[in-house]
Amino acid sequence: MFNYKYLLQVFCFGIILVVQKTMQNTTLCTFPPGFKFGTATSAYQIEGAWNVSGKTPSIWDFATHNNFESIIDRSNGDIACDSYNQIDVDIANLQLLNVSFYRFSISWTRLLPNAGNNFINPDGVRYYNEVIDKLIAHNIDPMVTIFHWDLPQSLQDLGGWTNKLTIEYYLQFARTCFSLFGDRVKTWITFNEISMYCVSAYDKKSLAPFASLSGIGTYLCAHYMLLAHGRAYRIYKKDFIHQKGIVGLSIDSPWYFPATNTANDKMAAMRAIITGFDWLAHPIFSQTGDYPLFMRKRIDYNSKQQGFKESRLPRFTTKEKAILQGSADFLGLNHYTSKLASMPMSEKASEMTSYEIDRSFDISFDPKWPKSARNHFKVVPQGLRKLLLYIRDTYNNPIVYITENGYAGDHSEYIDDHDRVSYTNLYLTEILKAIVIDKCNVTKYTSWSFMDNFEWHDGYTLRFGMFHVDFNDPKRKRTPKKSMYAYRNIIRFGTLPRCLSFEKSI
Ligand code: NOJ
């Protein structure tokens, strides 16, 4: 006999699916109320004024002046965007862009020129007070990164982030920032991209201090930065809680897709995430704390094989583990691209100490992925959604702020940056899917970058900005690019362009 009850059930289910789909289509246009859009820079990349009014050299001043062949175009940040002298222009442009918040960093040596003694440079205080006050006067929330790679050279001379003492100096810096600016700054990022910094500085020699301590300095650097982060967080919660701010850090990570469907390549992709993202996230955001077990075992094993008495991966004490666990009010995520991971044909020779050898997987790219001006930054928006899902499932759906995401153009780029417009739309679409469909807790998006700036060892050969900067003009003229107008519309309407009748769909 024909089962009408069953037919009715199927029919109702179908209706529910259609309704859900329609709702998703409309909600897949608009960001939830309260979602905030911002943009970002960092001190060395934009400020210039490298030696004025008491500022002393950072490792970037030192490296670009003494080791200039490490910078592709042999340039430096002596003037950069001249933002030190152009606060009003920058604020007017931020206002034009209509952002809710602006992420910038504080130059350590402008504020504390003699790391280690208590002298606070009045000009540093004046400059950052002015930036913060003017932002607030224009309704733009300051989001401040305490350390964005410009370590005082005087601390580098003592070993930099491979010296445990640097933690104490950093805490003095962080405490100074909280007490001088915390009445107005309510969002703090303790560290920008610990893994990019430590790996590039010590393994790849592509960021200052361009040191050769491969597979050793790399882990020490990240270990001490993590400890400094944890302790800064606890200091804020103990002594500055009345300021009612929040503290987190920005972790960088691509997403890794397995190169093929084989179990081996799937394992390689997992290895890549564990030894990249989880290395820094696990001690802070996991239920168990500490480094991921895979890293512990693998680096302990490799170290033993190499004749080390102790593992090259340092250990946390029980107390340190506790300080780190839960030491972030949000997870800042810097994400630009994805890669393919595959298992190497054979495990690489182990007599050399190296982070890459410890990780042990091969990298490649799907030829179908659109390119950018940076070789290894392909346009793979779906990778961001995967990474957000991974974070949701691995770390109990923490609050995530995307603290960087952006497109690399080359030095010849002017204002017709269609590729950047398309990149932003595609990545924001995936973020919206992650929020609406996957229920990921993403509440802020930060586009990198506000304007073209000094791109570290790539000098001025790459452009990430929504404002073009003319680096041949002594005034460093800024001109809005297409992406500035496109992002401004997204911010105004909280809606993706394809859903706005007056914007062409992408
Ligand atoms: C990472 C860094 O935080 C930032 O300083 C850099 O300019 C961008 N990503 C682009 O490479």
- Report the nearest atom of ligand 1 relative to the CA of 193: 3
Query: Closest Cα partner for 358 from 183, 179, 237, 222?
Result: 222
CA atoms within 13 A on the CB side of 417: 35
Separation of CA 410 and ligand 1 centre (Å): 15
37 beta partners: 445
Query: Closest Cα partner for 316 from 277, 359, 270, 279?
Result: 279
Catalytic residue among 404, 413, 430, 455: 404
Cβ–ligand 1 distance for 404 under 6 Å, the answer yes
Residue to mutate (ligand 1; options 145, 189, 207, 455; most atoms within 8 A of CB):
455
Cβ–ligand 1 distance for 154 under 6 Å, the answer no
Q: Which residues fall within 8 angstroms of residue 472, CB to CB, at 6 or more apart? A: none
CA-nearest residue, atom 6 of ligand 1: 455
Residue showing tokens 């790399």: 218
Query: Closest Cα partner for 280 from 330, 231, 223?
Result: 223
User: What amino acid is encoded at 187 in this protein?
Assistant: T
pLDDT recorded at residue 117? 86
CA-nearest residue, atom 11 of ligand 1: 455
C-alpha 91/C-alpha 241 separation (Å) is 29
Separation of CA 19 and ligand 1 centre (Å): 42
Answer for the pair 94, 450: CB distance below 8 angstroms, yes or no. yes
356 classed as catalytic: no
CA-nearest residue, atom 10 of ligand 1: 455
Spell out, as residue ranges, where the chain has pLDDT lower than 50.
19, 505-506
Cβ–ligand 1 distance for 291 under 6 Å, the answer no
351 classed as catalytic: no
Render the burial of 289-310: b for 16+ CB within 10 Å, e for the rest.
Answer: bbbbeebeebbbebbeeeeeee
Joined together, the tokens standing for residue 199 give 């790996």
pLDDT recorded at residue 2? 58
Cβ–ligand 1 distance for 193 under 6 Å, the answer yes
- Report the nearest atom of ligand 1 relative to the CA of 377: 11
Answer for the pair 283, 231: CB distance below 8 angstroms, yes or no. no
103 beta partners: 40, 143
Query: Closest Cα partner for 96 from 498, 375, 480?
Result: 480
C-alpha 202/C-alpha 216 separation (Å) is 8
CA-nearest residue, atom 7 of ligand 1: 455
Number of helices and strands (H, E) in the chain? 18, 15
CA-nearest residue, atom 5 of ligand 1: 42
CA distances from residue 197 to 75, 169, 248, 287, 469 in whole angstroms, order as listed: 20, 18, 17, 26, 26
- Report the nearest atom of ligand 1 relative to the CA of 464: 10
Q: Which residues fall within 8 angstroms of residue 303, CB to CB, at 6 or more apart? A: 310, 311, 312, 313
468 beta partners: 479
What are the pLDDT digits (tens) for 9-62? 766 666 655 545 555 556 799 999 999 999 999 999 999 999 999 999 999 999
Joined together, the tokens standing for residue 467 give 């404002």
Separation of CA 208 and ligand 1 centre (Å): 14
Q: Which residues fall within 8 angstroms of residue 171, CB to CB, at 6 or more apart? A: 228, 231, 232, 235
Cβ–ligand 1 distance for 316 under 6 Å, the answer no
Joined together, the tokens standing for residue 39 give 């943009």
Joined together, the tokens standing for residue 446 give 């930060």
- Report the nearest atom of ligand 1 relative to the CA of 250: 3
Separation of CA 108 and ligand 1 centre (Å): 18
Answer for the pair 381, 426: CB distance below 8 angstroms, yes or no. yes
Helices 482-493 and 418-436 pack at an angle, to 10 degrees, of 20
For 402, the enclosing helix (H) or strand (E) is: strand 400-404
The CATH class that applies to domain 28-493 reads alpha beta
Joined together, the tokens standing for residue 343 give 């298992």
Cβ–ligand 1 distance for 448 under 6 Å, the answer yes
Q: Which residues fall within 8 angstroms of residue 367, CB to CB, at 6 or more apart? A: none
C-alpha 191/C-alpha 248 separation (Å) is 8
Cβ–ligand 1 distance for 455 under 6 Å, the answer yes
pLDDT recorded at residue 506? 39
Render the burial of 114-144: b for 16+ CB within 10 Å, e for the rest.
Answer: ebeeeeebebbeebbeebbebbeeeebbbbb
Q: Which residues fall within 8 angstroms of residue 126, CB to CB, at 6 or more apart? A: none
Catalytic residue among 47, 69, 130, 193: 193
Separation of CA 42 and ligand 1 centre (Å): 9
Query: Closest Cα partner for 205 from 466, 428, 457, 489?
Result: 457
Separation of CA 40 and ligand 1 centre (Å): 10
Query: Closest Cα partner for 273 from 296, 289, 254?
Result: 254
| Domain residue ranges in the chain | 28-493
341 beta partners: 258, 363
Separation of CA 272 and ligand 1 centre (Å): 20
C-alpha 308/C-alpha 120 separation (Å) is 42
Separation of CA 375 and ligand 1 centre (Å): 15
Cβ–ligand 1 distance for 464 under 6 Å, the answer yes
Residue showing tokens 């960088």: 252
pLDDT recorded at residue 116? 78
Alpha helix stretches (DSSP H) within 348-415: 355-359, 381-394
Joined together, the tokens standing for residue 240 give 């500055």
C-alpha 104/C-alpha 441 separation (Å) is 23
Joined together, the tokens standing for residue 279 give 């290395």
Cβ–ligand 1 distance for 42 under 6 Å, the answer yes
Cβ–ligand 1 distance for 41 under 6 Å, the answer no
* Distance from the Cα of residue 130 to its chain's centroid: 25
C-alpha 440/C-alpha 390 separation (Å) is 10
Separation of CA 335 and ligand 1 centre (Å): 10
